[in-house]
């Protein structure tokens, strides 16, 4: 019995190597054609197509290589197959670094000073007060909380919005439809770390983004499908929003002609904010497989009804 790593078009070798290092002797296949279907006990994947699992009669577990599992839930994923995701504390830390880099570049006006430098211009502007940089985080899971913890020591007021509204130390927590409107109305810096589910798809659209204060800055590090890109563009062009940092897109990669690459108010990066480490992915996949065999609960099991 063994693990099939199905990661195309991502490079599969680092994941397969990490699995082999962590469990010498375990069968690890990297191509569907090489794996005897009845010996596949777990599949490590990033996305699955409908029907792709039908040929594996002894499959017990699907492991995501990432925190998000939105591409791993084809409607025909059998109920008997467990689904788990990776929770890598370092990934939360890296996303927090990315968010800080983008938002502080904005609040400390590094773009403006770069222009002044190009013109050898010594012009000092007042620093924007921390109270005017109210942070709003959509999603208060492991990643959202890491982002919150990174902002707090800088003195920026931090609030967040989550489905369950559970308390998070130091964070003003909102939930529900009314809570979303309240969070948006007080967020000068909006950071989206939500999982992608039917309830969050398209959540950032003209109606919701218009509820942000004029001059707000948006950071999108969850999934591209949270954001209606055309609505963002309209609000940037109209001057309601001052800027955006996008690490995820409706379509990845965006075409070379896509406005997101070229808009002066947009920082666009190729889904690099963070990646779970190969060794953590392998260790958590193998731990989940052992637990699945023993009928034990999985620490990072996905709640299929919730979608994350």
| H/E stretch holding 158 | strand 158-161
Supply the minimum distance, in Å, between the C-beta of residue 181 and ligand GLV: 27
Among candidate residues 47, 134, 223, 226, the one labeled active-site is: 223
Quick check: bond before 9 cis, omega within 30? yes
Task: Give the separation between CA 38 and CA 236, rounded to whole angstroms.
Answer: 53
- Sheet strand arrangement including 189-192: 172-174, 158-161, 135-138, 189-192, 216-220, 241-246, 266-268
Number of H helices, E strands in the chain: 9, 12
Residue 63 in contact with ligand GLV, rule: CB under 6 A: no
Residue 146 in contact with ligand GLV, rule: CB under 6 A: no
Give 20 or 300: the residue with its C-beta nearer to ligand GLV: 300
Q: Which of 67, 77, 150, 184 binds ligand GLV (CB under 6 A)?
A: 67
Q: Closest residue (Cβ) to ligand GLV?
A: 66
Is 262 part of the annotated catalytic residue set? no
| 165 class by beta-carbon count within 10 Å (0-12 exposed, 13-18 middle, 19+ buried) | middle
Is-contact 165 143, C-beta < 8 A? no
- Restricted to residues 264-293, the positions that interact with ligand GLV (CB under 6 A) are 276
Task: Give the separation between CA 227 and CA 169, rounded to whole angstroms.
Answer: 28
Is 226 part of the annotated catalytic residue set? no
Q: Which residues have C-beta within 8 Å of that of residue 139, sequence separation ≥ 6?
A: 160, 161, 162, 192, 193, 194, 195, 222
| 262 class by beta-carbon count within 10 Å (0-12 exposed, 13-18 middle, 19+ buried) | exposed
Q: Which of 12, 19, 68, 228 binds ligand GLV (CB under 6 A)?
A: 68
Supply the minimum distance, in Å, between the C-beta of residue 276 and ligand GLV: 6
Give 236 or 298: the residue with its C-beta nearer to ligand GLV: 298
Residue 66 in contact with ligand GLV, rule: CB under 6 A: yes
Give 41 or 88: the residue with its C-beta nearer to ligand GLV: 88
3-state secondary structure of 241: strand
Give 217 or 249: the residue with its C-beta nearer to ligand GLV: 249
Give 103 or 275: the residue with its C-beta nearer to ligand GLV: 275
Supply the minimum distance, in Å, between the C-beta of residue 236 and ligand GLV: 24
- Window of 66-74, 109-117, 171-179, 211-219 that interacts with ligand GLV by CB under 6 A: 66-74
Which parts of this chain interact with ligand GLV (CB under 6 A)? 66-68, 276
Catalytic residues: 223, 271
């Amino acid at each position: 019995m063994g693990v099939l790593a199905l990661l195309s078009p991502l490079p599969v070798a680092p994941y397969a190597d990490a699995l082999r290092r962590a469990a010498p002797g375990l069968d690890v296949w990297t191509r569907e054609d090489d794996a005897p279907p009845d010996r596949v006990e777990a599949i490590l994947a990033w996305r699955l197509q409908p029907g792709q699992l039908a040929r594996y009669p002894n499959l017990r577990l699907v492991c995501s290589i990432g925190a998000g599992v939105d591409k791993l839930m084809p409607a025909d994923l059998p109920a008997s197959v467990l689904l788990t995701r990776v929770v890598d504390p370092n990934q939360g830390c890296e996303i927090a670094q990315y968010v800080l880099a983008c938002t502080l570049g904005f609040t400390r006006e590094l773009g403006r000073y770069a222009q002044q430098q190009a013109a050898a211009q010594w012009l000092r502007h007042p620093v924007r007060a921390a109270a005017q940089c109210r942070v709003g985080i959509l999603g208060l899971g492991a990643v959202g909380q890491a982002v919150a913890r990174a902002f707090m020591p800088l003195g920026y007021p931090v609030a967040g919005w989550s489905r369950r509204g559970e308390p998070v130390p130091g964070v003003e927590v909102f939930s529900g439809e009314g809570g979303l409107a309240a969070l948006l109305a007080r967020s000068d810096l909006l950071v989206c770390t939500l999982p992608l589910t039917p309830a969050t798809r398209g959540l950032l659209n003209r109606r919701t983004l218009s509820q942000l204060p004029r001059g707000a800055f948006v950071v999108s590090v969850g999934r591209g499908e949270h954001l209606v890109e055309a609505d963002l563009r309209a609000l940037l062009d109209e001057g309601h929003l001052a800027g955006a940092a996008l690490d995820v897109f409706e379509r990845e990669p965006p075409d070379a002609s896509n406005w997101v690459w070229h808009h002066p108010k947009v920082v666009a990066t190729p889904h690099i904010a963070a990646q779970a480490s190969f060794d953590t992915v392998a260790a958590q996949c193998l731990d989940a497989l052992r637990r699945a065999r023993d009928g034990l609960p999985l620490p990072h099991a996905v709640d299929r009804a919730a979608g994350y």
